Amino acid sequence: MGLSNKQVQVLKWPYTGHTALICDGAVRTGKTSVMSLSFILWAMGNFSGCNFALCGKTVGSAERNIMQPLMGITYLREQFSLEYSRSTHQLTIKRGKRQNRFYVFGGRDESSYTLIQGVTLAGVLLDEVALMPRSFVEQALARCSVDGARFFFNCNPDSPSHWFYKEWILKVSEKDATHLHFMMDDNPSLTEETKARYRSLWTGTFYRRYILGEWCTAEGLVYSNFDRDKHVIHDLDPRGRFYISIDYGTHNPFSAGLWYLNGNTAVRMQEFYYSSVEHGQQLTDEEYYKHLEELAGKYPILAVVVDPSALSFIETIRRHGRFFVTQADNDVLDGIRYTANQLNAGRIKIHDSCVDCIREFETYSWDPKSESDKVIKEFDHAMDDTRYFCYTILQREWRGRMIS
């Protein structure tokens, strides 16, 4: 398969003399693959005995998105000898006497921050840079002290108030950078059918960002794709693996969902939702525990996933000894993105008895007053427990894959 014109521009970019290359735009447009190739060819053509950094959101995502595709490029394997050590996360590339080392770092892995402080780099590639902490990115750039060092950035768009947009995309000329914007047509390997499928996976703010490639403010409904006809079911067939997810509250509502997971479908079959304000009475942890047992009924629950801040309730569940209890991953934005993606793919269904969850799906909104992505923290309790279930349990069960 050949390269698109946009991809050829990325390969030729090192000869422009600019210091930084920024590729942003829609998903699956071929940014990471062509940028990694361009980075390696530039590094091997101009340096020897130098260190470079290949950075992803985490070391795992860098290995998946950068390393694996790179190792699969026949041209690279024919031209160079490539050796990757999974234990030290180092790629050594050689041709004749020329040899360079490429370290893999994860912007969100705490250990990477410390490790990158100790190296001197001749170039850095930051894949999905908008998902990394600014401090990590600045540290990585500050390590580039070798003459002729370059920065390669790529990402999908986020909010226009995101630091990367303000500091780099809006200041392209000031930073001696080139900005290339990618759309799905820039990836020659995508068929019309595949493009149509990607379009169907996103709606609302996510559609504008991931399909139209726009840096836009999050507004309107968070799950604008929620559709009763598609997501609400009236019959149950409770088989498979059972879980319970909980958003804990004493003054605020307490929300729990009972789920079963069968193949590629997760069903919220029943829920318990308690608002102390509406009932005029707060419940104790032991009283909540009784409701949890009732919700579990006779089903073999594999794990109860709980809001990580509810430490006393987690301890109550543990002491009773019946359920395996685990703290939820509470990364709100990644969790929402993951949940929206699974919802669009039709893999999450809600039984019509779960009226509180359905009501919240239809009202849960982005905060229009906030500059960065923030949800309105109101009527979001079933949304939180649903997100805990999706992002903590489904991620593990379905191997962390976003559907694309």
Contacts to Mg ion by CB under 5 A = 32
CA angle 108, 375, 232 (to 5 degrees): 105
Distances (CA, A) of 368 to 156, 220, 357, 373, 381: 21, 8, 22, 9, 20
The mark string for 65-94 relative to ligand ATP (x by CB under 6 A, - otherwise) is ----x-------------------------
Least distance CB 373 / Mg ion (angstroms): 20
Closer Cβ to ligand ATP, 368 or 400, answer by number: 400
CA-CA-CA-CA dihedral for 30, 33, 38, 43, to nearest 10: 160
Which residue in 6, 28, 231, 337 binds ligand ATP (CB under 6 A)?
Answer: 28
Q: Are 53 and 102 in contact (CB under 8 A)?
A: yes
Closer Cβ to Mg ion, 32 or 395, answer by number: 32
Least distance CB 58 / Mg ion (angstroms): 14
Residue 6 lies near ligand ATP (rule: CB under 6 A): no
Residue 400 lies near ligand ATP (rule: CB under 6 A): no
Least distance CB 100 / Mg ion (angstroms): 23
The 10 Å Cβ neighbour count of residue 281 is 9
Binding range to ligand ATP, per CB under 6 A, among 10-18, 21-29, 329-337, 365-373? 21-29
Closer Cβ to ligand ATP, 91 or 122, answer by number: 91
Q: Are 360 and 379 in contact (CB under 8 A)?
A: yes
Which residue in 29, 112, 344, 386 binds ligand ATP (CB under 6 A)?
Answer: 29
Closer Cβ to Mg ion, 33 or 395, answer by number: 33
Closer Cβ to ligand ATP, 72 or 220, answer by number: 72
Please tell me the distance from the alpha carbon of residue 328 to that of residue 307, in angstroms, as a whole number.
Answer: 5
Closer Cβ to Mg ion, 69 or 297, answer by number: 69
Please tell me the distance from the alpha carbon of residue 104 to that of residue 60, in angstroms, as a whole number.
Answer: 9
Least distance CB 67 / ligand ATP (angstroms): 12
The 10 Å Cβ neighbour count of residue 137 is 22
Map the footprint of ligand ATP across residues 30-59, applying CB under 6 A: 30-33
Residue spans of alpha helices (H) in 31-130: 31-46, 59-62, 68-71, 74-79, 110-116
Q: Are 266 and 347 in contact (CB under 8 A)?
A: yes
- The first and second tokens of residue 172, run together, are 């392209």
The helix/strand/coil state of 138 is: helix
Map the footprint of ligand ATP across residues 140-169, applying CB under 6 A: 156
Q: In what order do the strands lie in the sheet with 90-95?
A: 81-85, 90-95, 98-106, 51-56, 123-127, 150-155, 20-25, 177-182
Number of residues located near ligand ATP, criterion CB under 6 A = 16
Map the footprint of ligand ATP across residues 270-329, applying CB under 6 A: none
**Would you say how long the chain is, in residues?**
404
Q: Which does 184 bind (CB under 5 to 8 A by kind): ligand ATP, Mg ion, none?
A: none
Residue 403 lies near ligand ATP (rule: CB under 6 A): no
Which residue in 10, 20, 21, 27 binds ligand ATP (CB under 6 A)?
Answer: 27
Least distance CB 131 / ligand ATP (angstroms): 10
Residue-wise burial string across 85-124, b where 16 or more C-beta atoms lie within 10 A, e elsewhere = eeeebebebeeeeebbbbbbbbbbbeebbeebeeeebbbb
Least distance CB 186 / ligand ATP (angstroms): 8
Q: Could you list the residues that contact ligand ATP (CB under 6 A)? A: 1, 3, 7, 27-33, 69, 156, 182, 187-189
